[in-house]
Amino acid sequence: MPPLLVAAERLASTVALGVHGRRKAGMGETFWQFRRYRQEDPASAIDWRQSAKSQHLFVREREWEAAEAVWFWRDGSAGMRFSSDAQIETKVERASLLALALSSLLVRGGERIALLGEGRLPSSGRATLNRIGHLLVEQLSDDALPPDARMTRNGHFVWLSDFLSPLPEIEKVLRRLASNGLHAHLVHIVDPAEEDFPFTGRTRFETVDGGLKEIFGRAESVRGEYRARFKAHSDSISDLARRLGFFYLTHRTDHRPELALVALYAALGGPRAMLGPG
């Protein structure tokens, strides 16, 4: 298993001790559709009557299952590979860890998950978790913004990013998610230096890909203006998410990942995901 999957499982196990599952009792009563049996499906899910009509095995999916699919998008852009300190994870490493740890918690509860862009429908089981873990390590996409791909209506969408794309582009995606009836959960991953701007004296700044460079003789002279602009951008995304009824969470890479994971898992589960003692 990749180290990411091992770390995610350890993190999920820690958090699982303090939360209750978000699954409702039972699997729902309203028929939605038949679909082909997959290797990760339990044998008890096979509808033998429908399967007897053809050469294939079929599973009966119910409406509640379809409504609870959880889709993930992990920003894989160049800027996400930034870390201001060798002792701190890069933004993409922390985003991947949170995505996979949350996936592990959801799979343990029988939920169906998928990475947007991998071309697969949401599914559950250990095989799904392993596949997503490998895809996150292999950088499924270098894009910052999620593609306009079909997702299950009324499902959940978890977007982990540094949200440094232009605000109009982010707003366009969020409004598209809202119009498609999705419940979005935004996790804003921030490196501490991006928020604090601790630099002093002559400082050279450049983008991760080396495309842009700038030198300041006294970096501290622009600290106030920088912090104000950074906060204004973050506040704009937070306000937009709130107006659309979406969950928004800021998480710094120098903070404990379990704090963000608990908050995110609780947001997905609503009042059913209760924090335990401590």
pLDDT tens for 73-122 read 999 999 999 999 999 999 999 999 999 999 999 988 888 999 998 888 89
pLDDT of 65 > 50? The answer is: no
CA 278 to CA 265: how far, in whole Å? 16
Length of the chain: 278
Distances from the Cα of 149 to the Cα of 95, 106, 145, 171, angstroms: 21, 22, 12, 17
Do the strands 213-216 and 203-206 form a parallel or antiparallel pair, or are they unpaired? antiparallel
Q: What is the pLDDT of residue 271?
A: 37
Collapsing DSSP to helix, strand or coil, 184 comes out as strand
Q: Find tokens 């799904």 and name the residue.
A: 128
Q: What is the pLDDT of residue 127?
A: 92
CA 86 to CA 90: how far, in whole Å? 9
Indicate the average pLDDT of the chain.
Answer: 86
| Cβ pair 146, 103 in contact under 8 A | no
| Cβ pair 160, 73 in contact under 8 A | yes
Tell me whether residue 172 is exposed, middle or buried, using C-beta atoms within 10 angstroms of its C-beta: 0 to 12, 13 to 18, 19 or more.
middle
Q: What is the pLDDT of residue 81?
A: 93
* Structural domains in the chain, sorted by start: 3-23+63-271 (3.40.50)
As a whole number, mean pLDDT of residues 198-217 equals 89
Closest C-alpha among 83, 101, 84 to residue 92: 83
pLDDT of 272 > 60? The answer is: no
Q: What is the pLDDT of residue 62?
A: 63
CA 2 to CA 149: how far, in whole Å? 28
Percentage of the chain modeled with pLDDT above 90: 59
**Which helix (H) or strand (E) covers residue 240, if one does?**
helix 223-243
Predicted TM-score (pTM) of this structure: 0.80
